[in-house]
Amino acid sequence: MASPKIHAYIELPVDHTLFDVKWIPHSAKCLALGRQPNGRGLLRVYEMSGQRLQQVQEVEQPHGIKCGTFRASSWEERNIATADFKGQLCIWDLEDPAEPVVNVKAHRQIINSIDGIGGSNDSPVAPSLVTGSKDGSVKVWDPRQTQPAVVMEPLPDERRQDCWAVTFGNAYSTAGQCVCAGYENGDVKLFDIRNFKVSWETCVKSGVCSIEFDQRYIYMNKLVVTSTASQIDVFDMRTRHPEKGFARLTTTNAHGTTVWTVRHLLQDKDTFATTNGDGSLSIWKYCYPEKRASEGTDGSVQGVVGSLSLLCDSKLSSQPITGFDWNPHMPGLFALCALDQTLRIGFVAGLGS
């Protein structure tokens, strides 16, 4: 069988800095988020037309836009939640984008990361957003409310670490739903948002750039963490040892650069993409061990990690790739943006092999 291969399809240079890109569900359109040279934010919608991207919509806002998500919105509404450099959280109806339908001061400083959940029609949990900020706090939001439902932040006498990455997981039910956050000092914290506590934490020793569960709507299975030290950590979240915690597999990126993002293929939770500081895209496959748990001499059970294989990689940009999104409906199709001010569409062939 042929090995998977990354193909670049469309490249579109733009006149501003791009930080994030998202496919609009059930469409041939993608949305790019960024900041203009004058500091103002820009949201642009592009539609694929043959081998071209055609701009069909533009929304400007006062501050640069750092990140966004559709995951808390139904596929019928397709409202995008955005977070900006001044701590503002907005939700936009792209059919009528003159003003955001929600506009709240969510954090005191830049919102580095946002994630959503509950938008799909068969979701077992209600729509929610989570934001992580330079102010050190992680907040969970009901999209219909202007005040956070949950706030997780250090005590007044504790040092505030810049939160760089957040993600939802374990959302098989409202009772199990959790949030995981990564920080500039390498801390990774798993929050029990129902009981307002940290249920597990570890440190990967370098700044956490991106963090994601392999699937959101199942019992915790795997968690992937990427960092500034060319490092990819995979945690098996099914078995927790009382002292050692979750089993961990650490892989160093051969490119020797920051691993900016991790995104799991929606159609296969064991395949994921990472984007790198040298402008390359890597596709990985996780293989499970024969047994995922083992019993120690004292009777305690601990997890056993599998192995991680690099399926393919390709240098697509001269600058770091800051945003990446798999198309939710066409396996292998992706959109990405990089600091070379270029939006790209591509696909990975052979992922079903």
- pLDDT over 80 (residue 215): yes
pLDDT over 70 at 22, yes or no: yes
Instruction: Give the amino acid at 130.
Output: V
Chain centre to alpha carbon of residue 127: 17
**Would you say residue 211 has pLDDT above 90?**
yes
- β-partners of residue 152 are 138
> Can you tell me the mean pLDDT for 247-252?
97
Task: Report how far apart the first and last C-alpha atoms of the chain are (Å, whole number).
Answer: 6
Q: Is the per-residue pLDDT at 122 higher than 90?
A: no
Residue 327 has pLDDT above 70, yes or no: yes
Calculate mean pLDDT across residues 203-210.
98
The DSSP call for residue 269 is T
Distance CA 206, CA 204 (A): 6
Residue 297 CB coordination number (10 Å): 5
Q: CA 101 from chain center: how many Å?
A: 23
Question: Does residue 277 register a pLDDT over 60?
Answer: yes
30-59 pLDDT, tens digit per residue, is 999 999 999 999 999 999 998 999 999 999
Confidence class for position 248, pLDDT limits 50, 70, 90: very high
Looking at residues 139-147, what average pLDDT do you find?
Answer: 96
What mean pLDDT comes out for the span 101-124? 93
- CATH domain 5-12+74-321+342-349 topology: Methylamine Dehydrogenase; Chain H (2.130.10)
What mean pLDDT comes out for the span 95-120?
A: 95
Q: What is the pLDDT of residue 297?
A: 76
Q: Are strands 80-84 and 65-69 parallel, antiparallel or unpaired?
A: antiparallel
Instruction: Report d(CA 226, CA 284) in Å as an integer.
Output: 13
pLDDT recorded at residue 1: 58
Query: Which amino acid type is present at position 202?
Result: T
Least confident of 71-75, 165-169, 187-191: 71-75
Q: Tokens for 210, please give them.
A: 């991106």
- ∠ CA 138-180-159, nearest 5°, is 50
Q: How far is CA 237 from CA 186, 189, 260, 294, in A?
A: 18, 13, 22, 14
Collapsed DSSP state (helix, strand, coil) of residue 74:
coil
Task: Please give the pLDDT value at position 298.
Answer: 83
Q: How far apart are CA 214 and CA 194, in angstroms?
A: 22
- Is a pLDDT exceeding 90 seen at residue 153? yes
pLDDT band for 165, please (50, 70, 90 cuts).
very high
pLDDT band of 353, cuts 50, 70, 90: low
Evaluate if residue 27 carries a pLDDT over 90.
Answer: yes
pTM exceeds cut of 0.85 = yes
Find out whether 281 and 275 touch, Cβ atoms under 8 Å. yes
Task: Specify whether the CB–CB gap between 304 and 296 falls below 8 A.
Answer: no
Beta-carbon contacts of 158 under 8 Å, excluding residues fewer than 6 positions away, are none
Give the chain's mean pLDDT.
95
Residue ranges of domains in the chain: 5-12+74-321+342-349
Residues 291-304, mean pLDDT to the nearest whole number:
89
Among 271, 272, 248, which Cα is nearest to 259's? 272
Return d(Cα 136, Cα 151) in angstroms, integer.
Answer: 11
